[in-house]
Structure 1
Amino acid sequence: MEIYQLKVFLAVAHYLNFTEAAESLNLTQPAVSAKIKSLESDLKTSLFDRLGRQIQLTEVGQYLVTEAKRLVSLEAEISY
């Protein structure tokens, strides 16, 4: 798991939309999807329930939002 994956995850969790998250990060939608798929593979769990074109966070995804925010914040503090 990488901090960048968590940043991408947080964007998708915020927008609940891969395309909007991609636009906010200046990435393509397939790149965002690949990062999320890789993160889910690393964690061996689904972070989003995919309901057609809509997504929602799973319980694990909801928990990870809190922890990812904490880790991203710590990374920012350490970097400066």
Structure 2
Amino acid sequence: MELRWMRAFVAVATELNYGRAALVLHVSQPAVSQQIRQLERDIGVQLVERSSRSVRLTMAGTAFLGICQGE
């Protein structure tokens, strides 16, 4: 697991939007998407539910966000 993957996840979880997360991180939107997919593959859990219009955290994503934020 790489720190940049976790940063990308926290940005997406906070913004609930890949485009805005990319702006916050100063990277492209495809890079954010790839980092989230790599993180999910690495830990073996889906963290984000994606649709063409929205982004939602799964229960695992909510729990992982708490861990990332030290809760």
AA of the residue aligned to 1:7: R
Partner of 1:60: 60
* 2: CA distance, partners of 1:9 / 1:60: 12
Structure 2 stretches lacking a partner, 5+ long: none
Gaps of 5+ in 1: 71-80
Aligned length: 70
1:2 counterpart residue number = 2
Shift of 1:41: 0.4
**How far did 1:51 drift?**
2.7
Aligned to 2:11: 11
Q: Show the counterpart of 1:50.
A: 50
Bigger radius of gyration: 1
The amino acid that maps onto 2:47 is L
Structure number with the higher helix fraction is 1
Task: Provide the residue aligned with 1:75 in structure 2.
Answer: none
